[in-house]
Amino acid sequence: MSPLRISSLLGALGVALGAFGAHGLRPILESRQTLPVWQTASLYHLLHAIVLLWVSSQTPLPKAAFRFFTAGVLLFSGSLYVLALTSVARLGIITPLGGVALICGWLCLAFRRSEA
């Protein structure tokens, strides 16, 4: 699957999950007091989907950054979505790994070799 398609699908999923959490799941998330967790997951998900769109437009594709950002969204936001729904605290172990992957993605961009 192309980087542009992956980025676009992650963006669409981020919008859908954000809306679903704000409307369809709101009573469940409020009763578990995990609505802020869902909102954090959605914020990071959407922000990094936008970054992934930009990364996918670069030539040559910064593959390491793309992979780190994709893994980061899946691990960080994904674990928070599941944590918000299940309240299984053990899932919190995965979240920092996703955060580290997101940081690595940014660092890959920061230290990318310039074409100029």
Measured distance between the N- and C-terminal CA atoms of the chain, rounded to whole angstroms: 30
17-55 pLDDT, tens digit each? 999 999 999 999 999 999 999 999 999 999 999 999 999
CB 51 within 8 A of CB 69: yes
What pLDDT does residue 84 have? 95
Q: How far is CA 44 from the centre of its chain?
A: 5
Query: Is 85 within 8 Å of 25 (Cβ atoms)?
Result: yes
pLDDT at 96 > cutoff 90: yes
**Sign of torsion over alpha carbons 59, 102, 104, 95:** negative
Quote the CA–CA distance of 75 and 37 in Å, as a whole number.
14
Global pTM reads 0.93
Residue 47 and residue 26: Cα distance in Å, rounded?
Answer: 21
Q: Look at residue 18 in the predicted model and tell me its pLDDT.
A: 95
Percent of the chain with pLDDT over 70: 97
At residue 61, what is the residue type?
L
On the question of pLDDT at 75 being above 80, the answer is yes
Over residues 50-66, the mean pLDDT reads 96
